[in-house]
Structure 1
């Protein structure tokens, strides 16, 4: 994902296509520059040693070290990043859904708590109002009771006074009974009026108490309403503050990202300019060094050729003079020897002719003198001719049956395809350590460290792709003859777990009209393999040459088209490896199908020492039971023991 985030995608017009891109709405294209992609994702960029194309004016151009973008690498990297983002999006969706559920539960709980608080406040307000009304009624009742008690006390005093008066003046009371009855009736009326007034006062108090409760409830409700409005305002203000805070933080984040992007862009531009300058300097220095080396090599070759020519002329002159001098000195002796040899040869030839004629005449006379001998002669001749014809036909039939049994096309010169029992036997030998284990295929191969690293990287990638049943990459091995391309291809196939089939490009041209049929048969044979096949084509430029060559025959064009047909679709069944020492002669369509190119240069001094040591240990030291070069070197490096 980090690599994909740093890939720079450019946009330009469809008529100015200069990089690997795809069309967008037919007018603009989105694409990636190969030299910009290489520092970010090195494995997604391949380098071809040379590529040719023709411009609209018909002029052929040539470019060396062309960088190509691998679509499959970018595609699978993008798919991997997309799968990772999809997994993270699933986690985010689950988290957001859980957050929504938690927020809903929290809001529901807050509403329940607010409703409970409102109900509790209403109950408290109701209880407080009731208590206040009861206290007010109780106070009124106490006042009424106190007033009644005062009235009763006053009444008792009045009655006591009246009783005293009644006792004092019994006679007067008796005389005034009618007046007393009247006073008692008046008192009763007054008492009833007082009781009625008290009842009316109680009703008034209750009405006032009810009105007070109603006013208290209205006041409490207005207080709660004001409180709820204040809470809503507080929540709104808090949400507004959080929103402003989020907007501010988002704005700051965008500004920081924009600043970082600008800084990174400036750094990338500076790094790109530095890399371009460095590449230009390296290319100029390389061209200068190559030019100087080529001039020195040309001068050395010219000088060597002049010296060799002078030596050959002098040697030929001396030999001719010696021959002429010897012939002049021994002219008579040579003449006599030649005459004697001619006479002896003539006598021997005449004797041989005479003896042969005598034997032939005796044999003819013996044969034709007897009918039995003549019949035997004719029968022997017929029998010999029939035997020769039968042997020839049986050989042809046997060859056809072997080809049918083995299933190997005539183009394949060498293969390591083995049966199930052979595979089991090899596994048993490796288990018993009588055969080197898997991974030791390159132990006896001497390569330059950089070349070995490149070959092992490609072999590991091929082995991993084979295990995952992914499309295998095609490669090109190019370099001078005798640098180990075929041997590396064989060990490459064994290390990767593939079978290999080796063919030569020079075997296609002699087949003429049968070349296409044999190529189809070859690929059918390749696709029948259960382990996969590495098809190695040696001297590939013999029939995979550029179709722009006017001297190419129609059969070779058909063979090239057949090869392009079978290699046009990526396959996990076979891997194509071509070897050539003239990569610039290959067809452009073949070059487009190649994902890797590996250069096999001449070995340096260390590699040559390694090869000498390897062959000495293998063919001299081990057969003669001598110490190997490495053991002898170790013994020489040990310090001498002290006496």
Structure 2
């Protein structure tokens, strides 16, 4: 058809109708026009058909339906695309959140690691500073030792120079005197001869004159009988008076020393003196006449109930022991400082009819070799008491240490032996009361002499509340002294006092007493002696800090002591 050789027509399926175009075959280009021919034929048949317009309309409707279906599918595709975008956005948000969490965790880990590094760096710096300070202190100590050594060497050298200079001066003066005496030897000898001759003549003349006067006096005395009698009586009376005065002075001195004199070891005593009797006649009269009540031994002391009962029994027993002249029992009061040991010992003596004397264990060691003598004087003085003496040894562990485990000097050892000798037997003359914070350090011979031990513990909540109220009455509401001004307490409630009871846990009675004195001082620092709730609480906080600081100092001192012992 196009002037080319026709290709043979491929075999067609039997279901397809043969058309003229099919029989004619394909063109050279490979295009099959049979479909177009069939379409044209169908179009001609359709145009010739009566239902051609209906068919066209039907085709249009079908096409519109297909378009609607395609639009619906596109809408579904768009919805699915949006849903996929939303899912993708959610996944991206979740990934971003996880990334942010991982980043935050990483930042926290990094900050923690940085903080650990900073802490370690600070600890290393503090350790380095401590080592530098210790090295500086060692260098200072070495420098001080070197300076002290140089100073001693300088002093020794100066002393040696002074000695040499003095020897040289003395030698020079001696040599000069020898030379001068050798020069003036003849003149000195002549002078001495003249002076000796004059002294001899004067002595001979004095002897002659004295013999003449003595002879005349003896002659006159022997010839007068009345003078002889008076002389003999006067000499005898003079001899008797001298002897009596000597003996009486010794006896009076010993009496004054035993009864009025106070041994050097005694810090405080209730032994009545003239000045005390004149200043406090009522109190002194009660002591002299023996007006006392053993139940008042705990007056002004706030203690735990069972401890109060035990101490009251001891007070009554001591009073009855004194009345029946039976041997006294010796006590040990042990516990933390400031818990009322000294106060009870003093009240026990005053209300059981005894006199009391207080000494401290730290006063013995400084006496050295005189410690033994002073201890014997102390017990001799105690034996002169007509009522009986309560001898209270405060801080007794400073002197009565264990001889087997402690390193003590020979003087202290001798003093301890003297003390043990004077307290070895029962007596109705004195009663020993020991007070110690560390009773485990006592020598075994001392603990063997102790008849009863009483432990004073720190006050509990009820005891602290009673103490606080007692000291508020004593120092704030009704202070002692005619000129003392009462403190005005403004806005301080019972809840404030209860808070103080809680804050003072672990405090001793002495510390609570100092707290009340601090309140009084704070009030007296104002114009109208006023203390309000804020000042009340501030004083408690300040005292708490002070007690904590003291505790830290004590712990550091104990740690240093343990380190030195190691």
TM-score normalised according to structure 2 size: 0.38
